[in-house]
Structure 1
Amino acid sequence: MRGYQVYSHSERPKVVDLPLPEPSKGQFRMKICACGLNFADLLMQRGTYQDTPELPFVAGMEVAGVVDAIGPDTSGLNIGDRVAVFGGQGGLAEYGCFETDRAVGLPDSMSFEEAAAFQIAYGTSHVALDYRARLQPGETLLVLGAAGGVGLTAVEIGKLMGAKVIACARGAEKLSVAKAAGADHLIDAKTEDIRDVVRSLGGADVVYDPVGGEQWDAAFRASNPDARLLPIGFASGDVPKIPANHMLVKNLTVIGVYWGGYLKYKPSVVTDSLKTLFDWYEAGKLKPHVSHTLPLEDVAEGMELLRSRKSTGKVVIVP
């Protein structure tokens, strides 16, 4: 089979021929039909992600496809089942072996491309806004990076939860995508002052930030007393600095969110969230946005789209 193998953190990965893997006890093998790209994939290639696998490894965190083989003494799945998995690695290949207890059955109406774009982006936003920040109807939610993979889902979910959503992104094209997802107000990070605009709209009660850097600083200052701030990631490359004195004065709460971490010590948070999200999808309340679909040979192009922030929603690789 072919796979996108990372051999070194200082060299570009390659699509190479690899042995077909065999599932062990508790695992199944998937014929991979789609793999969603995430900013964490870029960090893994550099060796800077908190869960970077040992070298060498096949990149690709979330996949969707068909059950192709089942390991010995393993139950719960059948050959031919349509499933999605957050495996953490191994997704950018034609086949992969994954833990059976991580498999999620797909609704008949959901395509493999949508499924590969679904779990991490929607899961992160739902756990962040519902379980962690306890977003309430009528509150104001500020979403930075609002046209990106996770930011766009935060706009959708925030609106579903009854919030007033302020979407911040760079340029009219990206802002139009956020508007279509339900944003009530738009801020162009290229030309507008985030702090001033948010304050003019009454301030933010919850901040969802996958960007970091200067945008975090502006959002921090535009937060209302008792606001909750969610650092989701640092696409700007600049990890935010949190002024504790300002937190004290305004009674602010900064809440870390690492969706994948719950799979290790409290998986019910993820499984309960995904059940809600799939129910919303089947009810037509969520519409995954995939801006680019590329073949396995073009993974490097897909990664560059993420790095340069030229994509909206998700980039999906179809082996």
Structure 2
Amino acid sequence: MKALLSDQPGGPATLRIAELPDPTPGRGELLIRVRACAINFPDVLIIEDKYQLKPPRPFAPGGEVAGEVEAIGEGVEGWAVGDRIIAVPGFGGLVEKIVIPARIAFRLPVERSFEDGAALLLTYATSIHALADRGHLQPGQTLLVLGAAGGVGLAAIELGKAMGARVIAAVSSEEKAQAAREAGADEAVIYPTGPFDRDGQKALSELFKGAVGPAGADVIFDPVGGDYAEPALRSIGWEGRYLVVGFPAGIPKLPLNLTLLKSCDVCGVFWGAFAMRDPAANAAHVEQLFKWWDEGKIAPRISATYPLERAGEAITAIAERRAIGKLVVTLGRS
């Protein structure tokens, strides 16, 4: 089988296509014929050894996949050869075949494409966990979403609207603002590109405050970090919840006096650990996602697809924050 491998720490240029023997599923495992693999920001970090997960090399990046069951390991029940699945293995997805634990697999309905299936779980499951479990978002509350045109940002917009919130999207261009509006944002604000000095951060804070209104944001969804974090936190309302989702702009340092003045919470969001620790709660969230998908309240936006040989280009686009929505690598038919 073909695989895109990381042999050494570095950017997408260090990846290489290789031929590997087909894997065999062990006890409790499924062998999946991968048809699509979505690209996410962790793929940028993992090949540079900057992610919390550091697989032994060589390994294939690619954290979420869709495909068909090709073989079933001992002790696995409820699955048959040919069943369509989606899963988030964390890495290893940029291959033609992958072995995964059966416990992380979810069924992909026949009416959904493999590309759409691959683009669902990581962003939407992260966002529903963030908004429901960590942010306790309620109908009528105000949600500010940073980086709102990325995959996880668009998911947060759609889920925020499905949960009855007023959603303010913060983005870096008019093109991205339009994507946020199409996803259902009530308002989109365009912020300048950092880094910012103190005056720049103050101006950005005023921009956020003007967008969310005098009461402040009840929940702030931040998958960006960096110099955007403190200005966003300054726009939070009384007893608001600031959700720490990711750091493509860098890991920020927040002045904790703001949490006292606003009596607000800063909440970490680590969906992968949550899914491992509470699989029943995660499965309930995924069931809700499929329901909202059927009702048309959410729908993964895929802005581009790539063959396996060009998967490095997709990782580069994510690293440079050029992508709107999701980028998906396709393998074989869909």
Segments of structure 2 that go 5 or more residues without pairing to the other structure are 194-199
State how 1:126-141 maps to structure 2 within 5 Å.
126-141=128-143
Q: Which residue of structure 2 lines up, in the alignment, with residue 116 of structure 1? A: 118
The CA distance in 2 between the partners of 1:134 and 1:101, in whole Å, is 27
State how 1:278-293 maps to structure 2 within 5 Å.
278-293=290-305
Whether 1:226 aligns to 2:239 is: yes
Deviations 1:211-238 (A, max 9, x none): 01121111011111211000100011x1
**What displacement does 1:45 show?**
0.4
The CA distance in 1 between the partners of 2:298 and 2:275, in whole Å, is 23
Would the alpha carbon gap of residues 104 and 248 (structure 1) be closer, same or farther in structure 2, given more than 3 Å must change? same
Q: Which residue of structure 2 lines up, in the alignment, with residue 9 of structure 1? A: 9
Q: Which residue of structure 1 lines up, in the alignment, with residue 217 of structure 2? A: 204
The CA distance in 2 between the partners of 1:275 and 1:154, in whole Å, is 17
Whether 1:68 aligns to 2:78 is: no
Moved over 3 A (4+): 191-194
- Secondary structure of 1:260's counterpart equals helix
Which is further off, 97-106 or 49-58? Answer: 49-58
State how 1:195-274 maps to structure 2 within 5 Å.
195-200=205-210, 201-202=213-214, 203-236=216-249, 238-274=250-286
Work out whether residues 208 and 231 of structure 2, in 8 Å CA contact, stay in contact via their aligned partners in 1. no
Work out whether residues 137 and 161 of structure 1, in 8 Å CA contact, stay in contact via their aligned partners in 2. yes
**What displacement does 1:268 show?**
2.0
| Amino-acid identity (%) | 40
Q: Which residue of structure 1 lines up, in the alignment, with residue 197 of structure 2? A: none
The CA distance in 2 between the partners of 1:42 and 1:62, in whole Å, is 14
Deviations 1:262-283 (A, max 9, x none): 1322222311111100111112
Using the size of structure 2 for normalisation, the TM-score is 0.92
Would the alpha carbon gap of residues 73 and 227 (structure 1) be closer, same or farther in structure 2, given more than 3 Å must change? closer
Segments of structure 1 that go 5 or more residues without pairing to the other structure are none
Deviations 1:95-131 (A, max 9, x none): 1111111110012221110110000000010000011
- Secondary structure of 1:246's counterpart equals helix
**What displacement does 1:190 show?**
2.3
The CA distance in 2 between the partners of 1:84 and 1:55, in whole Å, is 25
RMSD of the alignment, in Å? 1.4
- Secondary structure of 2:139's counterpart equals coil
Work out whether residues 107 and 282 of structure 1, in 8 Å CA contact, stay in contact via their aligned partners in 2. no
Among 259, 277, 300, the residue aligned to 2:289:
277
Work out whether residues 63 and 91 of structure 1, in 8 Å CA contact, stay in contact via their aligned partners in 2. yes
Would the alpha carbon gap of residues 38 and 95 (structure 1) be closer, same or farther in structure 2, given more than 3 Å must change? same
Which is further off, 178-187 or 242-251? Answer: 242-251
